[in-house]
Chain A
Amino acid sequence: DVKVTQSSRYLVKRTGEKVFLECVQDMDHENMFWYRQDPGLGLRLIYFSYDVKMKEKGDIPEGYSVSREKKERFSLILESASTNQTSMYLCASTGPAKNIQYFGAGTRLSVL
């Protein structure tokens, strides 16, 4: 079974804080993705990565950055958290069947 693990289920941060969301997969998947999920907006892609140290912007990258120093770990960084970044964040990875995405359980972030 593929396991995609997000380090926190719930986070509460203050405006202006630097926030790190961590995602780890245990299946040696090459591709990893970060989405945010908001009611009525579906899943919107923030950033994705095809390989170590490689990243590409998704549809809504503004205010976010990412880091992939190791194949199994993909981090989402909010440089200076704002209230409009309050959301559910989902990490996903794909393996040899490249379009089947395996999701983590999500991190619900509240920025106060």
Chain B
Amino acid sequence: GENVEQHPSTLSVQEGDSAVIKCTYSDSASNYFPWYKQELGKRPQLIIDIRSNVGEKKDQRIAVTLNKTAKHFSLHITETQPEDSAVYFCAASNEGAQKLVFGQGTRLTINP
């Protein structure tokens, strides 16, 4: 089955700097890669996703890149702000399977 590895487990950046979180997956049949954000004490929520027919997707300060050949994808957050502090989870799935396999999570801390 699918296995998703996520790094780093913790990340601390200065406000205004960029943050990058990386994930690798094992199943070449996976074609959908979402990212979820979980603020302290709250439920995970989808912030961006990408499908395997594109290499990059951007939404304001966040972007996701996908390298299908290397089987890895990354989340990029630019101009970080205190409200970006949270745990971020990557995931992978084959859309036909309908279930997600999550990475281990990254705790991102933005230092003022």
Flag whether B102 is at the interface (Cβ < 8 A). yes
Flag whether B14 is at the interface (Cβ < 8 A). no
Residues A105 and B42 in contact, CB atoms below 8 Å apart: yes
Interface stretch, picked from A43-51, A65-73, A76-84, is A43-51
Flag whether A100 is at the interface (Cβ < 8 A). yes
Q: How many A-B residue pairs have CB under 8 A?
A: 53
B95 contact set on A, CB distance < 8 A = 98-99
Decide yes or no: A42 and B98 within 8 Å by CB, A99-B32, A99-B34, A105-B42 being known contacts.
Answer: no
A residues 14-73 with Cβ under 8 Å of B? 31, 33, 35, 40-45, 48, 50, 58-59
A98 contact set on B, CB distance < 8 A = 95, 98
A31 contact set on B, CB distance < 8 A = 98
Flag whether B85 is at the interface (Cβ < 8 A). no
Q: What is B's interface to A at a CB cutoff of 8 Å?
A: 1, 6, 9, 32, 34, 36, 42-46, 49, 89, 93, 95, 98-105
